[in-house]
Structure 1
Amino acid sequence: MAGRVLITGCSSGIGLDAARRLRDEGWQVIATCRKAQDIAARQAEGIDCLHLELADPDSVAALAAQVLADGPLDALVNNAAFALPGAVEDIPRGALRSIFEANLFGTHDLTTRLIPHFRKRGGRIVNISSVLGLVGIPWRGPYVATKFALEGLTDVLRLEMQGTGVHVILIEPGPIASRIRENAIPHFERWVNWQASPRADEYRASLLKRLYEPSGKDRFELPPGAVSDRIVTALTATRPAPRYYVTTPTRIAGIARRLMSTRALDWFARRS
């Protein structure tokens, strides 16, 4: 049955597709975006959209209060996140703090502010993780760290919420068509001094090309609608699964993490 759902990170990609999909299926959608132009664009297409900056505790608190003041909430989809590419040895402390503030701390803050409401009437919390929450690959250290942390926090929350009427679900996409690569460029340029890195030649040969040069569709890449399919299932199934894989690489990574040795998994990750 359709209800009222809050979805974070709806400027493009998975969040935008999910907001449109759930709206079309009869849900009352509250979307969030950071930028005023994105909020205006969502409102212009008939989607209620509010400002949210996950790295700002005051913004999180204000959003939660406004959403709950406007009526009962049935579900939360934590989708908002950004990537910060670079070699781990080149990531300064402030950079790691900035990505954790948005991808983990803000998401956790918003979730815990809504849990008391869900405890009273039941509800669903859907956290959008990643194949990189299962297996790390080079150049993606900060993003991988936030998704590994999100996976662990979600697993424990699911255990703790059993019997409360609050279902906690992970969705783990693999390569999905989105703007995450383009959106990562400002963060990379702000924080990573790649020219001074001992890996400067590797940056030129690999990461810079991937970031700045147009490329075709990734192998196994699916459209955002593939994730929306799983979100709908997670929100409507009588007994939702604890996690849903999206794309072939995620299914392979899930199996590999359980069955392969660490050395074999490292080989697999380097080739990825």
Structure 2
Amino acid sequence: MTRSILITGCSSGIGYDAAHVLHDRGWQVFAACRKPEDCARLKAEGLNSPLIDYEKPETIEQGLGEVLTATGGTLDALFNNGAYAIPGAVEDLPTNGLRQIFEANFFGYHTLTRAVIPVMRAQGKGRIIQCSSVLGFAAMPWRGAYNSTKYALEGLTDTLRIEMKDTPIHVILIEPGPITTKIRENSIPHFEKWIDTAASARASQYAALKDRLYKDTGKDTFELPPRSVTDKLILALNAPNPRPRYYVTTATHIVGTLKRLLPTRMLDKVLGRG
């Protein structure tokens, strides 16, 4: 039987690659985007593409409703993937900016996850896969908003995995390191909206951050294409007993090892280099 999956954040990058690869492998893929024009583009490419914007709960309900109507009320897997960043120092991050990014990167994930659990319970199977990050367990400077949403996601997902152990639902984290996506480009409007660099006590330090945002500085060390995440997603979907976590990129493996071995202050020095 054809298996079904709902993937969010499919306009580009990780979600876009995963949607097309799984579609080509015979999955019934629902490649959600938060903008109507992106949904239209994916539909033109042969994909089902419901509109789901994590910051708008009504679109989560409506989008999932469209998915369940198309599948006859079932869903084999959910891949929560869409997210963005607000680069900047924590002291310059307004609380309202933090609230907004949590709606997209955390609360939206939770709303959609809670909505699919009854469906998976009723059908007697299911996989909930969350796209976290190396920044979900190891913080780096200038990324406080994104770090905090991913740390929160890891804690919530770990709890859910433990609680769901008496059900046929698998709960899994994928933790990428640097991946070739538009996350920097997409973060620029949020950076410009929320971070007042001129008024910051760190105004002179923002030059390097702006270079990373506005200039093509090439690939990061250990950066891999989105397909590397898709490969781990496929493992998580097909393994009879999937791992709780799947690391992606050498950087994630290195940082995971350092996190276990180094004292906190020494790890701070390593990661503090940015």
Same fold, TM-score > 0.5, yes or no:
yes
1-structure distance, mates of 2:190, 2:273: 25
* Pair 1:112 & 2:111 matched: no
* Pair 1:3 & 2:7 matched: no
Comparing 251-260 with 98-107, which one deviates more in the overlay?
251-260
> Which residue in the other structure is 1:33 paired with?
33
> Which residue in the other structure is 1:133 paired with?
136
Which of 226, 230, 251 is the aligned partner of 2:253?
Answer: 251
Comparing 51-60 with 227-236, which one deviates more in the overlay?
51-60
Deviation at 1:258, TM superposition (A): 1.6
> Which residue in the other structure is 2:18 paired with?
18
Alpha carbons 1:173, 1:245 under 8 Å: kept? yes
> Which residue in the other structure is 1:268 paired with?
270
* Pair 1:181 & 2:184 matched: yes
Alpha carbons 2:132, 2:153 under 8 Å: kept? yes
Q: How does 1:1-272 map to 2 (within 5 A)?
A: 3-71=3-71, 72-121=74-123, 122-204=125-207, 206-272=208-274
Report the TM-score, using the length of structure 2 for normalisation.
0.97
Deviation at 1:261, TM superposition (A): 0.7
2-structure distance, mates of 1:117, 1:34: 23
Q: Given residue 87 of structure 2, which amino acid in structure 1 is its aligned partner?
A: P
SS for the counterpart of 1:110 is helix
Alpha carbons 2:50, 2:67 under 8 Å: kept? no
Deviation at 1:2, TM superposition (A): 5.0
2-structure distance, mates of 1:60, 1:36: 14
Q: Which runs of 5+ in 2 are unaligned?
A: none
SS for the counterpart of 1:167 is strand
RMSD: 1.0
Alpha carbons 1:15, 1:80 under 8 Å: kept? yes
Deviation at 1:34, TM superposition (A): 1.2
Q: Which runs of 5+ in 1 are unaligned?
A: none
Count of aligned pairs between the two proteins: 271
SS for the counterpart of 1:195 is coil
Deviation at 1:41, TM superposition (A): 1.2
Q: Given residue 36 of structure 1, which amino acid in structure 2 is its aligned partner?
A: P
SS for the counterpart of 2:246 is strand
2-structure distance, mates of 1:151, 1:201: 33
2-structure distance, mates of 1:103, 1:159: 22
Deviation at 1:259, TM superposition (A): 1.7
What fraction of aligned residue pairs are identical, expressed as a percent?
55
Alpha carbons 1:2, 1:25 under 8 Å: kept? no
Alpha carbons 1:124, 1:166 under 8 Å: kept? yes
- Runs of 4+ aligned structure 1 residues displaced above 6 Å come to none
